[in-house]
């Protein structure tokens, strides 16, 4: 029975269909990754549509960050005292709700991401040398 507690129960029927149950351990990290990806795509497509330079895209990202922080401040302002306490606790971070399933998920993502980053590490160091040197290296 305790394993069922980790699942979000969406058994209410909506239009005579059952919704999918998603494990809680995957819901928060998956949502965070998904919305971060949507934010990156938003900046990318705005930059592509307006033919922005790299500097302008960085500034657009900073502006979007301030927009999200303003929305978070609005959420804190409108929250009840109990919800505000939960929001602040969440923002500071805690290992209180860490489980081995969540640690395993983070480890799996790192095992997939690190080889890709290491493979392209020389390109990143070439960019630090400047535009002309980076172009000459390919």
How far, in Å, CA of 89 to CA of 91, rounded?
A: 6
In eight-state DSSP terms, residue 21 is: P
Spatial separation of the C-alpha atoms in residues 120 and 122, rounded to whole Å: 6
Mean pLDDT to the nearest integer, 69-74: 93
pLDDT digits (tens, 9 = 90+) for 8-47: 444 444 454 566 777 776 787 788 889 999 998 988 888 8
Q: State pLDDT tens for residues 101-136.
A: 878 888 998 999 899 888 877 776 766 666 676 666
Q: What are the structural domain ranges in the chain? A: 98-138
Residue 134: per-residue pLDDT = 61
Mean per-residue pLDDT of the chain: 78
DSSP state of 12: S
Give the tokens for residue 29. 């990290």
Note whether 19 and 12 are within 8 A (CB).
Answer: yes
pLDDT computed for residue 25 by the predictor: 67
């Amino acid at each position: 029975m305790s394993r069922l507690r980790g699942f979000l129960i969406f058994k209410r029927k909506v239009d005579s269909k059952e919704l999918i149950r998603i494990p809680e351990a995957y819901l928060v990290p998956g949502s965070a990754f998904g919305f971060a990806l949507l934010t990156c795509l938003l900046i990318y497509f705005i930059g592509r549509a307006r033919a922005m330079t790299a500097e302008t895209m960085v500034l657009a990202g900073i502006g979007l960050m301030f927009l999200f922080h303003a929305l978070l401040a609005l959420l804190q302002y409108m929250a009840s005292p109990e919800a505000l306490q939960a929001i602040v606790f969440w923002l500071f971070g805690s290992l209180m709700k860490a489980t081995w399933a969540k640690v395993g998920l983070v480890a799996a993502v790192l095992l997939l991401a690190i080889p890709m980053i290491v493979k392209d590490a020389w390109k990143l160091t070439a960019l630090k040398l400047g535009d002309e040197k980076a172009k000459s290296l390919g």
